[in-house]
């Protein structure tokens, strides 16, 4: 239902997104994984028509996004990387305001506000100003706001960045619930654990280029299911193997300390890009 065809975005001399092609199907939970500056936000902003493409095309349900922008926008619920809440408005007023912008009737606004505050577990704080919310509560309110007009697709740009482990899991549960109810979810993250825990399919992006897509376990298996990790000449090196036995056998050549463990997405990312995702 979302189709990126050779999408490129340049800012002056900088190529933020380069020849990006991808299809995301209805009901999918897709995660775009990449380090700082990889082009994730640029891609989300282009999808929601906030940033124009330099070349290429994005289609939603077979329609180019630059046609019929109002109708396309109704299909998306967007949770941007930075807060889009009105700090001086209460939680309920923030939702109400968004509903009005999207043309919901008074009755629909009231119903959705009550429903979504309940869904996000914010009912008790509905009369508090958004500026007094903690980071985690703010993120939940942003999700509720994005859901007000009953979108088909949720686009979330690093929805759990800066949150502690408990809050991150609460957000994950909300997103899982939404996906189970049939919403298509496209999120960006630089947390591997998040992509591995939530997403049916992930894409690895680096320097604007999509390096690989697949189920997390497929990407890991393509790199090698086991890693031999050892310290040599001042740096940590890794070798990949399909079986644990092969990794252990190879470790016999190593003189210092080593570790054999199961591979994760981070290992695959390092192998593909020679870069770490998380500091």
Ligand X SMILES: Nc1ncnc2c1ncn2[C@@H]1O[C@H](COP(=O)(O)OP(=O)(O)OP(=O)(O)O)[C@@H](O)[C@H]1O
Site for ligand X in 70-109 (CB under 6 A): 81
Among 4, 31, 33, 34, binds ligand X (CB under 6 A): 34
Compute the distance between CA of residue 144 and CA of residue 77 in angstroms, rounded to an integer. Answer: 9
What 225-229 contacts at long range (C-beta under 8 Å, 24+ apart), as own/partner pairs, is: 225/262, 225/263, 226/260, 226/261, 226/262, 226/263, 227/260, 227/261, 227/262, 227/263, 227/267, 228/254, 228/258, 228/259, 228/260, 229/258, 229/259, 229/260, 229/261
Structure tokens at 7: 């999408």
Binding partner selected for residue 125 from Mg ion, ligand X, none, CB under the kind-specific 5 to 8 Å limit? none
Site for ligand X in 210-269 (CB under 6 A): none
User: Nearest distance from residue 221's CB to Mg ion, in Å?
Assistant: 29
Q: State the residue for tokens 């020679």.
A: 274
Q: In sequence order, what E strands does the chain have? A: 2-11, 14-24, 29-33, 55-60, 63-64, 76-79, 153-157, 184-189, 201-206, 209-214, 226-232, 235-241, 258-262
Compute the distance between CA of residue 175 and CA of residue 32 in angstroms, rounded to an integer. Answer: 15
Among 42, 48, 179, 213, binds ligand X (CB under 6 A): 42
Stretch that binds ligand X, among 39-47, 62-70, 193-201, 219-227 (CB under 6 A): 39-47
Binding partner selected for residue 38 from Mg ion, ligand X, none, CB under the kind-specific 5 to 8 Å limit? ligand X
User: Nearest distance from residue 41's CB to Mg ion, in Å?
Assistant: 3
Binding partner selected for residue 37 from ligand X, Mg ion, none, CB under the kind-specific 5 to 8 Å limit? ligand X
Determine if 18 is a binding residue for ligand X (CB under 6 A).
no
Given the complex with ligand X, which of 16 and 155 has the nearer CB atom? 16
Given the complex with ligand X, which of 39 and 203 has the nearer CB atom? 39
User: Nearest distance from residue 175's CB to Mg ion, in Å?
Assistant: 18
- Coil vs helix vs strand at 123: helix
User: Nearest distance from residue 222's CB to Mg ion, in Å?
Assistant: 26
Determine if 37 is a binding residue for ligand X (CB under 6 A).
yes
Compute the distance between CA of residue 229 and CA of residue 175 in angstroms, rounded to an integer. Answer: 34
Site for Mg ion in 77-106 (CB under 5 A): 81
- Tell me which residue of 176, 167, 197, 157 sits closest to 34, measured CA to CA: 157
Site for ligand X in 148-177 (CB under 6 A): none
Determine if 41 is a binding residue for Mg ion (CB under 5 A).
yes
User: Nearest distance from residue 38's CB to ligand X, in Å?
Assistant: 4
User: Nearest distance from residue 97's CB to Mg ion, in Å?
Assistant: 25
Q: State the residue for tokens 């092969």.
A: 246
Residues that bind ligand X (CB under 6 A): 11, 14, 16, 34, 36-42, 81, 190
């Amino acid at each position: 239902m979302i189709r990126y065809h050779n999408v490129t975005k340049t800012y002056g001399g900088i190529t933020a997104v380069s020849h990006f092609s991808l299809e995301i199907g209805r009901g999918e939970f897709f995660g775009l994984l990449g380090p700082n500056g990889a082009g994730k936000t640029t891609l989300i902003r282009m999808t929601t028509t906030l940033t124009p493409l330099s070349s290429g095309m994005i289609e939603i349900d077979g329609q180019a996004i630059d046609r019929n922008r109002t109708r396309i926008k109704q299909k998306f619920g967007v949770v941007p990387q930075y807060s889009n809440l009105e700090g001086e408005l209460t939680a309920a007023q923030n939702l109400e305001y968004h509903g009005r912008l999207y043309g919901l009737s008074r009755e629909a606004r009231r119903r959705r506000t009550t429903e979504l505050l309940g869904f996000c577990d914010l009912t008790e704080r509905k009369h508090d100003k958004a500026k007094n919310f903690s980071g985690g509560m703010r993120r939940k309110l942003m999700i509720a706001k994005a859901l007000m007009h009953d979108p088909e697709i949720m686009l979330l740009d690093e929805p759990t960045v800066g949150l502690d482990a408990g809050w991150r899991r609460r957000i994950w549960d909300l997103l899982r619930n939404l996906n189970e109810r049939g919403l298509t979810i496209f999120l960006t993250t630089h947390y591997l654990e998040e992509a591995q825990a939530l997403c049916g399919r992930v894409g690895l992006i680096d320097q604007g280029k999509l390096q690989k897509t697949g189920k997390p376990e497929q990407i890991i298996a393509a790199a090698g299911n086991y890693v031999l990790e050892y310290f040599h000449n001042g740096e940590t090196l890794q070798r990949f193997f399909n079986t644990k036995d092969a990794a252990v056998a190879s470790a016999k050549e190593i003189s210092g300390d080593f570790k054999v463990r199961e591979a994760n997405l981070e290992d695959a990312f390092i192998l593909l890009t020679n870069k770490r995702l998380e500091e």
